[in-house]
Structures are given as C-alpha cells and as structure tokens.
C-alpha cells in the first residue's frame, strides 16, 4: 500500500458524495486533501457488534494486500482509522476511484441502442490500429474489439488471482470496475474471496450471485476450485455480447434449469460424478443447443472460447491463463492491456 495511515480519515479526505452501500457500510467518492486526488472511501463500521474487525473486511483487505499490484485488480491505497459522531471506531478503506462498473456500462449500452461513444472509438483505435487501416467502421467490428479488450483484461485479472491461490467466488458485472475514459477493467469486491490449497478443498456452497454460479456449486459440491470463477467469466462474456444475463434464474432450481435448457441436462458421460453430487435429482432431459442460439452475434472464435468456459466438468473448463492464450484474442495489441 502506498501510505501509512497517520492522519485520520476526516483530516485526510473531503467526502464528495455517497456512491454506494455495501454489507458493512457506505462507499463515498472523496478528494484527498493533500493531493487533490479523487478516491473511493469504503467505510467499515466496527461498532455494530463487539467482535472486532468483520471477517469480510479482513479477507478483502488481506487479499488486496497480496493482489493490488496487478493492474486488473482494484488498488487499495490505504486503510485509515477514524471515529464517527458517537465516538465509535470506523475503518476507511481507501481505493483508487473508478467511475463505473460493468453492470452500469452494459445498461448504458443497452439504453443507447448500441451506439458507440466517441471516446470508446478512440480507445479501440489505440488497442487495434489495424481497424483504422482497413477502414472497417462498422459498429459490430468496434464492439468486437471492445469486447475482446474487456474479456482479455478480465481473464488477466482472474489469472493473477488464481496464480496467487485466490478464488474470487463472486465475479459478476457489478464487481468489475471500469474507467470510462481508458476502458480499463479491474476486479473488485473480494469480500467473499478465499485462498485455496491445491488441488481442492471443502468450501461452503452458499456463495456467488445466482446468475453467475457454476453448476457444481448449484448441485451442492463442496469441493471446488478455480473453475467456479471461469464459469462466471463465461456468463459475463455472453452478457457483454447480448447485453442480457445468460442464465437469469430466480432460484437455485430455476438457475439449473436455465443452464440445462441451453447446455443440455448433464449425465455421467459428459460429467463423470455429477449424479453423486448432493443436490442431484432426476431433472427434465434437454439436448444441448448450439451456443450461437443464445449468443448469435458472437463470432466463431468467441463461441469456441465461451464453450470452453462453460464446460460442465470443472476439470475440463479452460483456465484463465489458457483463456488469455486463445486465438480469439490474437487481434489485440496486448501491450496496452
């Protein structure tokens, strides 16, 4: 981390506006008085109970201490201690400020009817100058490069986490922060993240927002590893293309049925051991559909990558590092990412 918390939060920062609310407190956009730099302050209340620093805060901060040096993980700049009006201890996590997240970004795209803002065109040209030479100014081509860039950054961030033994366990568009100007994407909200020991260990399966939850977790597997994050990455990939959630279930059962309708009901042939999982029942039998029915505008290479992210058998699912090497990303100038 960059600084030592010498000044209290109140002395060091000027709160500008509330930008969100998390489990343990509010998130503010703030200005650092000494430098004028805009930051995000995540306020963590310690006084809710007498049990000290909350586990999610401990996990998030300690994991960020390990991962924050990666450009695709949100940077934790400092932790400040302060007191609220009642004199109770409050912790402020000081993050670099990112002006949007992928959820908002997708929503704004959906509302604007796929028109591309000029600043995005500028960024895309810097990432892939060959477009300019060929003079292909078609919307879908811009979107394709934009999509490749975001997906590559996401895979790179996830690969970094996994390389340091960290499962995120809650990857979703809302937890992927973005800078609109530079189109830089960063993984955030590591409160649910866990360290894993390889190959696999038992973890609770009550994790992950339903829509991005891997089938092995839904079916009650307590042994899982990096593949759960890659399933989430696949769901996010499809959502970036269609601007709609790929599997929008409203219960665990409905979530499974959404998955089975598209990918076919799994069996021992495609996924050895599936019928032994805790929540396995006799489900309706569906045949697998082509992924292009769900994501029609994605090109062949993109569909190939997506299919590898959405493999039923966790051990067969592509790793983040392997995904970065996929031919789908060959057009990108990766030096900028």
Q: How far apart are CA 304 and CA 307, in angstroms?
A: 5
Q: Does 180 bind other proteins (CB under 8 A)?
A: no
Catalytically annotated residue among 170, 269, 304, 330: 170
**Binding span for other proteins by CB under 8 A among 130-138, 146-154, 192-200, 246-254:** 192-200
Question: Scanning residues 103 to 162, which ones bind other proteins (CB under 8 A)?
Answer: 162
Which tokens belong to 203?
């973890």
Indicate which single residue of 17, 51, 86, 300 sits in contact with other proteins (rule: CB under 8 A): 51
Q: 90 forms bridges with which residues in the sheet?
A: 45, 82
Nearer to other proteins among residue 92 and residue 212 (C-beta): 92
Radius of gyration from C-alpha coordinates of the chain: 21
- Is the omega angle on the peptide bond into residue 199 within 30 degrees of 0, that is, cis? yes
Contact 28, 19 (CB under 8 A): yes
x/- map, 199-238, other proteins, by CB under 8 A: xxxx-x------------------x-xx------------
Ligand-binding annotation for 42, yes or no, is yes
Nearer to other proteins, 65 or 122 (CB): 65
**Helix (H), strand (E) at residue 254:** helix 252-263
State the pairing for strand pair 176-179/184-187.
Answer: antiparallel
Which two tokens mark 332? 């990108």
Q: Is 96 near other proteins (CB under 8 A)?
A: no
Site string for other proteins, 54-73 (x = CB under 8 A): xx--xx-xxx-xx-------
Q: Which of 253, 263, 329, 251 is nearest to 294 (CA)?
A: 263
| Position 91 contacts other proteins (CB under 8 A) | yes
Residue 53 or residue 139: which is nearer to other proteins going by CB? 53
Contact between 81 and other proteins by CB under 8 A: the answer reads yes
Q: What are phi and psi of 53, to 5 degrees?
A: -70, 130
To other proteins, the closest distance from the beta carbon of 233 in angstroms equals 14
Q: Select the span of 21-29, 51-59, 260-268, 287-295 touching other proteins (CB under 8 A).
A: 51-59
Residues with Cβ within 8 Å of 320's Cβ and at least 6 positions away in sequence, in order, are 155, 156, 158, 159, 162, 226, 229, 230, 233
C-beta separation of 267 from 228 below 8 A:
no
Q: Which of 165, 249, 264, 288 binds other proteins (CB under 8 A)?
A: 165
Take residue 214 and report the two structure tokens written for it: 């891997």
Q: Least distance in Å: CB of 163 to other proteins?
A: 5
Of 56 and 100, which has the nearer Cβ to other proteins? 56
Q: 20 or 52, CB closer to other proteins? A: 52
Our CA angle for 64, 201, 158, nearest 5°, is 35
170 is known as an active-site residue: yes
- How many residues touch other proteins under the rule CB under 8 A: the total is 49
Minimum CB separation of residue 7 from other proteins in Å reads: 8
4 contacts other proteins (rule: CB under 8 A): yes
Count of CB atoms within 10 A of residue 99's CB?
A: 15
How many residues are recorded in the chain?
Answer: 337
By CB under 8 A, name the one of 5, 71, 249, 288 that touches other proteins: 5
CB contact set of 100 (below 8 Å; sequence gap of 6+) = 108, 177, 178, 179, 180
- Where in the sequence numbering do the catalytic residues fall? 170
Binding site for other proteins (CB under 8 A): 1-8, 46, 50-55, 58-59, 61-63, 65-66, 78-81, 89, 91, 162-166, 195-202, 204, 223, 225-226, 315, 319, 321-322
Query: Binding site for ATP: residue ranges?
Result: 42
Query: Binding site: residue ranges?
Result: 42
């Amino acid at each position: 981390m960059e600084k030592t918390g010498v000044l209290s939060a109140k002395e060091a920062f000027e709160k500008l506006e509330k930008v969100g609310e998390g489990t343990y407190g509010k998130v503010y956009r703030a200005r650092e008085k000494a430098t004028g730099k805009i930051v995000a302050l995540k306020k963590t209340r310690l006084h809710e109970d007498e049990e000290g620093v909350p586990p999610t805060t401990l996990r998030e901060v300690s994991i960020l201490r390990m991962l924050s040096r990666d450009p695709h993980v949100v940077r934790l700049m400092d932790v400040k201690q302060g007191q609220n009006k009642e004199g109770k201890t409050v912790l402020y996590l000081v993050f670099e400020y990112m002006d949007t997240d992928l959820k908002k970004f997708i929503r704004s795209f959906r509302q604007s009817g796929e028109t591309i803002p000029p600043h995005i065109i500028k960024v895309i040209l810097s990432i892939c100058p060959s477009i300019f030479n060929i003079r292909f100014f078609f919307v879908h081509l811009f979107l394709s490069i934009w999509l490749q860039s975001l997906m590559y950054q996401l895979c790179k961030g996830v690969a970094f986490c996994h390389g340091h033994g960290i499962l995120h366990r809650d990857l979703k568009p809302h937890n992927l922060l973005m800078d609109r100007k530079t189109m830089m994407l960063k993984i955030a909200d590591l409160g649910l993240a866990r360290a894993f020991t390889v190959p696999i260990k038992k973890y609770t399966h009550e994790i992950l927002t339903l829509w991005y939850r891997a089938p092995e977790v839904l079916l009650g597997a307590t042994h899982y590893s990096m593949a759960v994050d890659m399933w989430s990455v696949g769901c996010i990939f499809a959502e970036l293309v269609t601007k709609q959630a790929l599997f929008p279930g409203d219960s665990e059962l409905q979530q499974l049925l959404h998955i089975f309708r598209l990918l076919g009901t799994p069996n021992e042939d495609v996924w050895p051991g599936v019928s032994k999982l805790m929540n396995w029942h006799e489900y309706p039998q569906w045949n697998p559909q082509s992924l292009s029915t769900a994501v029609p505008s994605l090109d062949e290479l993109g569909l190939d990558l997506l299919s590898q992210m959405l493999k039923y058998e966790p051990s067969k699912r592509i790793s983040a590092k392997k995904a970065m090497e996929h031919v789908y990303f060959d057009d990108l100038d990766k030096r900028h990412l």
